[in-house]
Structure 1
Amino acid sequence: MDIYGNALSDFHQSGKADTLWLHNSYGEPEEMPIDIFFRNEEDMPEIELKALSLCKGKVLDVGAGVGSHALLLDKKKIDVSAIDISPIAVQIMQERGVRNPQLQDFFQVKEKYDTLLFMMNGIGLTRTLQGFEDFLKSAKKILNPKGQLLFDSSDISYLYDDMPMPTHQYFGEISFCYEYKNQKGNWFNWLYIDPTTLQRLSKQYGWNCKILYVDEQDQYLAQLTL
């Protein structure tokens, strides 16, 4: 069941929705504001605007949601394809006017691009640190020469200020579960990678890594090139 998509659909149709809860593996459930997925350019944080300004060539917007970033790239006449695994999100993208929305799993992509864009910690879809290492190897196959990866993530070590770090896994590996209108979806794994680990792994797998921006919440924007 597409719990996330159902919440997006309600908001898209009426401008309001019930509370979308995000259960996690480290503490109490948190409310996920649905309106942030529908942001326009004026409401986007600097870190996202910076990433969009760096997009070039043929762009793949991964985990595009309802297409807010793709719409801005479309407006700038950039050749962007927007993919998501939520059928409802893809339908909303079509209704919002995104030019090329696709129901697609990133790990099944075969076409080549100049920019792979992962916003709102979309790089988390690699799920684990090992998954991220595998991603660094496979992403080379779908990038054109002089291509780039652009993504934001954050160092979430602060979550463990008052409790011990996990000993059986990397501290940035988190499990989440959506709940909407008393219906819960399946648990899924998501990755947050700290900048030091990112730079180490990037170098190990043959990438140049630049941290281009850091905000007050320790979120950062990274650019990886071969």
Structure 2
Amino acid sequence: MDVFGKALTDYCQKGKASTLWLHNSYDEPEEMPIDVFFRDEDDMPELEHQALALCKGKILDVGAGVGSHTLWLQQKGFDVTAIDISETAVEIMRNRGVKKASVKDIFTLEQRYDTLLFMMNGIGLTGTLPGFVSFLAKAKTWINPNGQLIFDSSNISYLYDDLPMPKDHYFGEVSYCYEYQEQKGKWFNWLYLDQQTLLRTAKQCGWQCTICYDDGEDQYLAKLTLPA
């Protein structure tokens, strides 16, 4: 069952939904606000405005959810395609007016783009630090010359202020599971990158990394490009 998709559908159809819980590997479950996925331009934080302003050329919005960022780019006249692994999310974004949307896993990508956009910590889909390294290798075949990867991430070291840092894996590697109306989805891995780890890893993998924005609260925006 697409637990996350069911919550999105209820909110889309009724304007409200039951509580969507996000279980995690490090603490108690947290309530996930569903309305944040449907926000418009006025409700987007500065980091997202900065990210959208960096977009250029042929754009792929990866893990686009219900298409809020795609719709903004589309309205500005960009050639933008949205993908998500949730069939329900893709159906909703199409109904919201996204012109080019498909159910697709980024790792099956065959076309090239000028901008690969990952919003709302979307780069976390790489799952682990080794997974991110593997992603960076593949991404070189997914962008055109002078192309770019744009994403935000967070330093979650604060979670361990009162706990010992993990010794068997990078501290930014966590696991999540959605629960909606007493039904749980499958657990999945997610990655958060602190800036220094990102800068070091990107350089080791042959990418140039620029931190474009820092909100001062552990979240930041990054742009990765390949050397000319």
Q: Answer yes or no: same fold by TM over 0.5.
A: yes
Q: Secondary structure at the match of 1:5?
A: helix
Residue in 2 aligned with 1:216?
Answer: 216
Residue in 2 aligned with 1:137?
Answer: 137
Instruction: With the length of structure 1 as denominator, give the TM-score of the two structures.
Output: 0.99
Which digits, 9 at most, give the CA deviation of each residue in 1:144-191, with x for residues without a partner?
A: 000000000000000000000000100000000000000001100000
Residue in 1 aligned with 2:41?
Answer: 41
Give the whole-Å Cα distance in 2 for the aligned partners of 1:89 and 1:225: 29
Residue in 2 aligned with 1:170?
Answer: 170
Residue in 2 aligned with 1:161?
Answer: 161
- The one-letter code sitting in structure 2 at the alignment partner of 1:97 is G
- The one-letter code sitting in structure 2 at the alignment partner of 1:221 is L
Residue in 1 aligned with 2:190?
Answer: 190
Residue in 2 aligned with 1:64?
Answer: 64
- Alignment size in residue pairs: 226
**5+ residue gaps in structure 2?**
none
Which digits, 9 at most, give the CA deviation of each residue in 1:52-111, with x for residues without a partner?
A: 011000000000000000000000000000000000000001100001011101100110
Give the whole-Å Cα distance in 1 for the aligned partners of 2:126 and 2:205: 16
Q: Secondary structure at the match of 2:60?
A: strand
Instruction: With the length of structure 2 as denominator, give the TM-score of the two structures.
Output: 0.98
Return the offset for 1:216.
3.1
State percent identity of aligned pairs.
66
Residue in 2 aligned with 1:6?
Answer: 6
Return the offset for 1:218.
1.0
Residue in 2 aligned with 1:150?
Answer: 150
Q: Secondary structure at the match of 1:77?
A: coil
- State yes or no: 1:94 paired with 2:111: no
Give the whole-Å Cα distance in 1 for the aligned partners of 2:169 and 2:51: 30
Residue in 1 aligned with 2:15?
Answer: 15
Structure 1 stretches of 4+ with a deviation exceeding 2 A read: none
Give the whole-Å Cα distance in 2 for the aligned partners of 1:6 and 1:50: 31
Residue in 2 aligned with 1:80?
Answer: 80
Q: Secondary structure at the match of 2:135?
A: helix
- The one-letter code sitting in structure 2 at the alignment partner of 1:111 is Q
- The one-letter code sitting in structure 2 at the alignment partner of 1:34 is I
Give the whole-Å Cα distance in 2 for the aligned partners of 1:218 and 1:200: 18
Give the whole-Å Cα distance in 2 for the aligned partners of 1:88 and 1:59: 22
- State yes or no: 1:179 paired with 2:142: no
- The one-letter code sitting in structure 2 at the alignment partner of 1:78 is F
- The one-letter code sitting in structure 1 at the alignment partner of 2:55 is C
- The one-letter code sitting in structure 1 at the alignment partner of 2:98 is V
Which digits, 9 at most, give the CA deviation of each residue in 1:107-131, with x for residues without a partner?
A: 0011000000000000000000000
Give the whole-Å Cα distance in 1 for the aligned partners of 2:129 and 2:138: 14
**5+ residue gaps in structure 1?**
none
Give the whole-Å Cα distance in 2 for the aligned partners of 1:18 and 1:25: 23
Give the whole-Å Cα distance in 2 for the aligned partners of 1:88 and 1:32: 18
Q: Secondary structure at the match of 1:178?
A: strand
